[in-house]
């Protein structure tokens, strides 16, 4: 009886050792395949984005890429000891470009959505924005929230393929929607009186109101949606995801995040670089 028990225990121990060894081997192989290893070997961090999303990624008068995400991308590259390589990419193809290794990470003001999360992984959110309304001034007393815009008589605009467009379809399905290739075009339509309201992210609506909309528009600045922005990477890379989350925690703890927030989100000095 004792011999039988000893044999069983020995067998279990052997299989346990084999399983543990296999698991360790799998973890090592997974680590070797991480994007981190490719970045370090290449000596470059390739960052995907589309210039034009104020104030996260923009092109200044010198043709340089600037903004909240751009400064963070440079800081991330520095933390890895590699070169920062910006890859300006059309928004409608940015996820496929990531998935086909055109760059290593999307740092482009991307909102976390469940649909996107089925294709890619997101690091922890670095800022939360939401949809706001830039309203033509002629509707000052008639429109107080998005609910008032849910009427065919109102022409609302946004950028196609964005969460602004999604918000219109979800919260204002009866409104007359007019989509544009860029948020700037959509906003100018409202400023010029050709549309009634722009639905878009808080930072951009605030910027457009301050730079061109005063006296012509009303900024309803309370967001009516919850939208966390995060960096995106390919699925199946826990090591890179771990690095990014720890990097973000570090920069929030050492003051870098606060400096970037004051510089790009609440500050205005950077606007001179675009004029």
Residue 204 belongs to domain with CATH number: 3.40.190.10
Q: pTM, whole model, 2 decimals?
A: 0.74
Q: Is residue 268 part of a domain?
A: yes
183 plus 49 within the same structural domain: no
Asked if 137 and 220 sit in the same domain, the reply is yes
- For CA atoms 261, 266, 269, 275, the dihedral sign is positive
Whether 29 is covered by a domain: the verdict is no
Q: Which domain holds residue 146?
A: 131-225
Indicate whether 218 and 165 sit together in one domain.
yes
| pLDDT recorded at residue 12 | 46
Q: Are residues 135 and 221 in the same domain?
A: yes
User: What pLDDT is stored for residue 42 in this prediction?
Assistant: 97
Does residue 219 share a domain with residue 94?
no
Q: Are residues 107 and 55 in the same domain?
A: yes
Structural domains counted in the chain = 2
pLDDT tens, position by position, 107-129: 999 999 999 999 999 999 999 88
Q: Pick from 187, 206, 225: which residue ends a domain?
A: 225
Are 221 and 232 part of one and the same domain? Answer: no
10 inside domain: no
Q: Based on the fold, state whether residues 161 and 44 are members of the same structural domain.
A: no
Beta-ladder partners of 201? 131
Q: Which residues contact 1 (CB under 8 A, 6 or more apart)?
A: none
Bridge pairing between strands 44-49 and 105-106: parallel
Query: What share of the chain has pLDDT > 70, as a percent?
Result: 89
User: Given pLDDT bands bounded at 50, 70 and 90, which one contains residue 275?
Assistant: confident
Predicted local confidence at residue 207, as pLDDT: 86
Taking a C-beta distance cutoff of 8 angstroms, is the pair 126, 242 a contact?
A: no
Q: What is the pLDDT of residue 4?
A: 54
Does the structure show a pLDDT above 70 at 221?
yes
**Residue 21 banded pLDDT, cuts 50, 70, 90:** low
Same domain, 153 and 197: yes
Digit-coded pLDDT (tens) for 196-210: 999 999 989 988 998
Residues 91 and 167 in one domain: no
pLDDT for 135-176, tens place per residue? 999 999 999 999 999 999 999 999 999 999 999 999 999 999
């Amino acid at each position: 009886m004792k011999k039988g028990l000893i044999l069983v225990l020995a067998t279990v121990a052997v299989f346990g050792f084999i399983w543990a060894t296999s698991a360790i081997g799998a973890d090592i192989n997974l680590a070797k395949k991480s994007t981190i290893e490719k970045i370090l070997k290449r000596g470059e961090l390739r960052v995907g984005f589309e210039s034009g999303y104020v104030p996260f990624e923009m092109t200044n008068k010198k043709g340089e890429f600037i903004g909240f995400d751009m400064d963070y991308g440079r800081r991330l590259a520095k933390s890895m000891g590699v070169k920062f390589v910006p890859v300006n990419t059309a928004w409608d193809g940015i996820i496929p470009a990531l998935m086909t290794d055109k760059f290593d990470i999307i740092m482009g003001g991307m909102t976390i959505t469940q649909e996107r999360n089925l294709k890619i992984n997101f690091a922890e959110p670095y800022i939360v924005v939401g949809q706001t309304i830039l309203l033509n001034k002629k509707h000052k007393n008639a429109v107080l929230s998005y609910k008032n815009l849910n009427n065919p008589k109102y022409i609302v605009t946004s950028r196609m393929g964005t969460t602004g467009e999604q918000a219109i379809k979800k919260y204002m399905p009866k409104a007359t929607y007019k989509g544009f290739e860029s948020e700037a075009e959509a906003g100018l339509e409202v400023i010029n009186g050709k549309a009634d309201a722009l639905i878009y992210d808080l930072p951009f609506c605030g910027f457009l109101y301050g730079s061109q909309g005063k006296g012509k528009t009303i900024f309803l600045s309370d967001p009516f949606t919850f939208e966390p922005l995060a960096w995106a990477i390919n699925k199946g890379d826990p090591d890179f995801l771990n690095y990014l989350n720890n990097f973000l925690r570090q920069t929030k703890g050492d003051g870098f995040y606060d400096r970037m927030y004051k510089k790009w989100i609440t500050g205005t000095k950077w606007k001179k670089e675009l004029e």
